Amino acid sequence: MSASSRSCAVVLLLVCVYVVYLLIGALVFWALEKPREEKVRAELNLLKHQLLSNMSCIDLSTLEHLLETLMKANKYGVSLVKNNSENSNWDLASALFFSNTLVTTIGYGHTTPLSDEGKAFSIVYGVIGVPFTMLVLTACVQRLMVPLNLRPVTSWRRRFGWHPRTASTMHFVLLLLLVIVMFFVVPAVVFSIIEDSWSFLEAFYFCFISLCTIGLGDFVPGEQDNQKLRPLYKISVMVYLFLGLIAMYFVLRSFHKLADVHGWTAFFHLPSCDDEGEIRNEDASEGPNECETDTKPLEPSAGVSYNSISK
């Protein structure tokens, strides 16, 4: 197996382990949070029935207790108005979605752990998951830099005779436009169709807030009543967020490369992008180096003698 194939296999293994890690987190959150959510849901329904049965003489303390319970439940993502048995914040798909937003640092905040055990596990899970996520994203982007950045720029320079700055700038502009269309415009159209209450601007805003890992939580997909195929929808959004984060990180790496070519990193005394070493290593793994071929030790029979020197 060549070095390039071995490197791709390692990245694929990392992604697989990452998916397994998300599944483990989802199962733990599901087991910890689902019973607590059902208990809060039962308390809300009980208070609601008590209020309706005593409509003519509502007790002030009961009403205050109801409001206090409603506010506390709303903090954990449980609503009395829109609450139903089909929409759970801690089913397997929702727990997987929460695990993904936790380790990617997006953190919408619409759903938070109810139990102390869940809060404690979030700390441990995040301590391991956040750097692991960064490692997976870095490994994926590192493998994409050569075929999607360095080779196109080198090809354009050879074919059109462009200056390195011109080729790098053109590549970055095209890359930025492609990412905006594929990960912002198209998903925004899809979200505005699926989410009835979202306009295109709101959907575009959600994509931007999410892929920049800001995660304000004012717009969260899959929270409508009776959402069709909600588990599949949640998992699809999770895959979109992961691929979108790779694209955003790739744009940042490409901008770093562009800054190197234009001398901006040197001007600001920042570390330069070392992608040239990557392509040299890959080329070296694909075939023998010309310099190594030329500097092979001479055979004994090919030794130079004084008689061979032209006089």
Question: Do 252 and 176 meet the contact criterion of CB atoms below 8 Å apart?
Answer: no
pLDDT in tens, the chain (311 residues): 777 787 788 888 888 999 999 999 999 989 988 888 888 888 877 876 777 677 666 665 666 676 777 777 766 666 666 555 556 778 888 899 999 999 999 988 878 888 899 999 999 999 999 999 999 999 999 999 999 999 999 999 999 999 999 999 999 999 999 999 999 999 999 999 999 889 999 999 999 999 999 998 889 898 877 778 888 999 999 999 999 999 999 999 999 999 998 888 877 767 877 644 444 454 444 444 433 444 444 444 444 443 444 43
Domain 3-269: assigned CATH number: 1.10.287.70
Q: Rounded CA gap, 74 and 56, in Å? A: 27
Residue 210's pLDDT is 95
The domain ranges of the chain are: 3-269
Residue 3's pLDDT is 75
pTM (2 decimals)? 0.75
Residue 36's pLDDT is 85
- Signed CA dihedral, 36, 32, 119, 26: sign only: negative
Residue 187's pLDDT is 97
Residue 15: partners with Cβ closer than 8 Å, 6 or more residues away: 136, 140
